[in-house]
Structure 1
């Protein structure tokens, strides 16, 4: 994460004075370093404004609640053009105000609702938002199927998850009745299950459940 790296390097002026930022709409990690080095894109010297904003953003993400991240959206973030959409994308991963699931989890349900049953295809829902990496998507898929009242079924629970994933045993992903209700935005995941996870520095539990209203783009406190 860029803000983490800039905040980490901030005390080392001998390094930061040599840094430049290059903004691109492409996903740089998809290309070999030698290829990226040949790109002719504008480079901007890293200034104290960049470093100060990165520090504010990193501290906000590490805070005990998502509110500092939400409050950052009300400030000038132009020094780091990708920061605003990144913050919004992260906030959208908070439990939804209606369904209780984050945006990427809802994308997984959408893929299953569309008839995809192969877990490797369902996991590809992560590309719709590009917030989760492959491991995150795999973990989210397993977690959705592991709850006492799951929104998805992962096949025979006696099967080993690793065997299923690598095709050594059958694993078909299907929606449960609860999953269909959640996908239709008619039920709340955490009305039927317990939640315990971290969003940045925020501990999310049923009793301390911060949510995101996707329609109004508002943060909802517990």
Structure 2
């Protein structure tokens, strides 16, 4: 049984979750093989002939243990276990370590209070990307692959709708449109013309911290991030 998972962080988490699930079923583990996919499977043409050239490895019990450590660490009530697991041997899954590092970088950074994707969105808007299409759909510009389109919208709303907004111009109707009404929300995003506020410019320059002026209430894996329980990332974990 071959497993194919994209290299992006969410797919690698799904792989870790799956292997943790089969951990207690050695008869299933014995049947598993993993393709080390280093590209986006959705971008491959149906006529592509290189499937057999993707490296194939046999999944061993030791591999399952390593993946299980990652999954259980991510579900823990603090990010400390995820940081610690980076010190373990994850060489059996060469895409898992960078995926976990990408996820850790989405914790609020020391100094700005923004995760890596939030900071990149602010940088792009500051560079003149006023429309949302680039922010949603052009990953090459975003340079971040942790969040899907819907989650990018949530990040933009967090930057725009706090007491001290970092961006302006996000359509106000997004405050009241049902989160499940995707069509109406997409239209509202398309109407938006984004700019960076003076406060946002100060955050970009390192002079302000978004979390000191706005409420934080979101989940990172099993960690509930709030202003009173704010784990930060700066190439190491800190708690403020």
Return the TM-score normalized by structure 2: 0.83
Tell me, in whole angstroms, the C-alpha distance in 1 between the residues paired with 2:75 and 2:216: 20
Which stretch of the first structure deviates more once superposed, 140-149 or 109-118? 140-149
1:31 pairs with 2:44: yes
Name the counterpart of 2:19. 6
After TM superposition, the structure 1 = structure 2 runs for residues 28-67 of structure 1, keeping only pairs within 5 Å, are: 28-31=41-44, 35=48, 38-67=51-80
Tell me, in whole angstroms, the C-alpha distance in 2 between the residues paired with 1:155 and 1:94: 23
> 1:152 touches 1:173 (CA, 8 Å); kept in 2?
yes
Once the two structures are superposed, residues 126-173 of structure 1 have per-residue CA deviations (whole angstroms, 9 ceiling, x without a partner) of 540211111211221122212121111134525766646326973111
Name the counterpart of 1:220. 238
Sort the Cα spacing of 1:45 and 1:144 in 2 relative to 1 into closer, same or farther, 3 A: same
Q: How many residues align?
A: 219
Gapped runs of 5+ residues in structure 1?
A: none
Sort the Cα spacing of 1:39 and 1:185 in 2 relative to 1 into closer, same or farther, 3 A: farther
Deviation at 1:7, TM superposition (A): 0.8
Deviation at 1:48, TM superposition (A): 0.4
- Of the three residues 84, 96, 112, the one matched with 1:83 is 96
> 2:107 touches 2:231 (CA, 8 Å); kept in 1?
yes
> 1:108 touches 1:125 (CA, 8 Å); kept in 2?
no
Sort the Cα spacing of 1:27 and 1:36 in 2 relative to 1 into closer, same or farther, 3 A: farther
Tell me, in whole angstroms, the C-alpha distance in 2 between the residues paired with 1:39 and 1:111: 39
1:184 pairs with 2:205: yes
Sort the Cα spacing of 1:5 and 1:164 in 2 relative to 1 into closer, same or farther, 3 A: closer
> 2:16 touches 2:67 (CA, 8 Å); kept in 1?
yes
Deviation at 1:55, TM superposition (A): 1.0
Gapped runs of 5+ residues in structure 2?
A: 1-13, 178-182
Which stretch of the first structure deviates more once superposed, 159-168 or 194-203? 159-168
What is the DSSP-based 3-state SS (H/G/I as helix, E as strand, rest coil) of the residue aligned with 1:117?
A: coil
Deviation at 1:79, TM superposition (A): 1.7
Deviating runs (4+, > 6 A) in structure 1? none
Name the counterpart of 1:208. 229
Return the TM-score normalized by structure 1: 0.89
> 1:120 touches 1:165 (CA, 8 Å); kept in 2?
no
Deviation at 1:68, TM superposition (A): 0.5
Once the two structures are superposed, residues 51-109 of structure 1 have per-residue CA deviations (whole angstroms, 9 ceiling, x without a partner) of 10111111100011000011111221112111211111111000010100000000100
Sort the Cα spacing of 1:220 and 1:38 in 2 relative to 1 into closer, same or farther, 3 A: same
> 1:123 touches 1:141 (CA, 8 Å); kept in 2?
no
